[in-house]
Amino acid sequence: MSTPPPLHQHLDALDPGLLGAVVDGAARLTPEQALDLYHRCDPQSLGRLADRRCRALHGEDLRTYVIDRNINYTNICTAKCIFCAFKRSGHEDDAYTLDHDALLQKVRELVEIGGTQILMQGGMNPDLSLEWYVDLLGSIKSEFPGVHVHAFSPPEFIEFVRFFDPPGETLKQKVLYVMTRLRDAGLDSLPGGGGEIFAPAVRKRIGLGKCDAESWLTVMRAAHEMGFNTSATMMFGHIEGIADRVHHMELVRRWQDAAIDELADRGGGRYVAFISWPFQADNTVLGRLPEWGLDGGDGDADPFPGDAVARLDGTGKSIDHKGFGRSRRMAGSSAYLRTQALSRLYLDNIYSIGSSWVTMGPHIGQMGLLWGANDMGSVMMEENVVSSAGSTHCLNEAMICRLIRDAGFTPAQRDNAYDLLRIHDGPDSPDLVVEDWSLNRPDRLISEGSGDEPAEPGCGGSPEGASAPIDLTIKSSD
Is residue 77 part of the contact set for ligand SF4 (CB under 6 A)?
A: yes
77-85, 232-240, 332-340, 420-428 -> range binding ligand SF4 (CB under 6 A): 77-85
Contact residue for ligand SF4 among 87, 204, 245, 338 (CB under 6 A) = 87
2-10, 61-69, 78-86, 441-449 -> range binding ligand SF4 (CB under 6 A): 78-86
Is residue 217 part of the contact set for ligand SF4 (CB under 6 A)?
A: no
Is residue 197 part of the contact set for ligand SF4 (CB under 6 A)?
A: no
Work out how close the CB of 389 gets to ligand SF4 at its nearest, in angstroms, rounded to a whole number.
10
Work out how close the CB of 274 gets to ligand SF4 at its nearest, in angstroms, rounded to a whole number.
19
Encode 394-422: b = buried (16+ Cβ within 10 Å), e = exposed: bbbbbbbbbbbbebebbbbbbbbebeeee
Of 320-379, binders to ligand SF4 (CB under 6 A) are none
Question: 22 and 345 in contact (C-beta within 8 Å)?
Answer: yes
Question: 375 and 352 in contact (C-beta within 8 Å)?
Answer: yes
Of 140-179, binders to ligand SF4 (CB under 6 A) are 155
Is residue 191 part of the contact set for ligand SF4 (CB under 6 A)?
A: no
Q: How many beta carbons lie within 10 A of that of residue 173, not counting itself? A: 14
Q: Mention every residue, 6+ apart, whose C-beta is less than 8 A from residue 62.
A: 409, 410, 411, 412, 420, 423
For ligand SF4, the closer of residues 115 and 155 by Cβ is 155
Q: Mention every residue, 6+ apart, whose C-beta is less than 8 A from residue 128.
A: 74, 97, 163
Encode 234-260: b = buried (16+ Cβ within 10 Å), e = exposed: bbbbbbbbbbbbbbbbbbbbebbbbbb
Q: How many beta carbons lie within 10 A of that of residue 433, not counting itself? A: 9
Is residue 84 part of the contact set for ligand SF4 (CB under 6 A)?
A: yes
Q: What are phi and psi of 230, to 5 degrees?
A: -140, 170
For ligand SF4, the closer of residues 124 and 136 by Cβ is 124
How many residues bind to ligand SF4 according to rule CB under 6 A?
Answer: 11
Q: Give which of 239, 247, 249 is closest to 308, Cα–Cα.
A: 239
Work out how close the CB of 383 gets to ligand SF4 at its nearest, in angstroms, rounded to a whole number.
13
Work out how close the CB of 86 gets to ligand SF4 at its nearest, in angstroms, rounded to a whole number.
5
For ligand SF4, the closer of residues 35 and 386 by Cβ is 386
Is residue 123 part of the contact set for ligand SF4 (CB under 6 A)?
A: yes
80-88, 270-278, 340-348, 364-372 -> range binding ligand SF4 (CB under 6 A): 80-88
What is the dihedral sign for C-alpha 278, 197, 445, 407? positive
Contact residue for ligand SF4 among 18, 35, 71, 81 (CB under 6 A) = 81
Binding stretches for ligand SF4 (CB under 6 A): 77, 79-81, 84, 86-87, 123-124, 155, 210
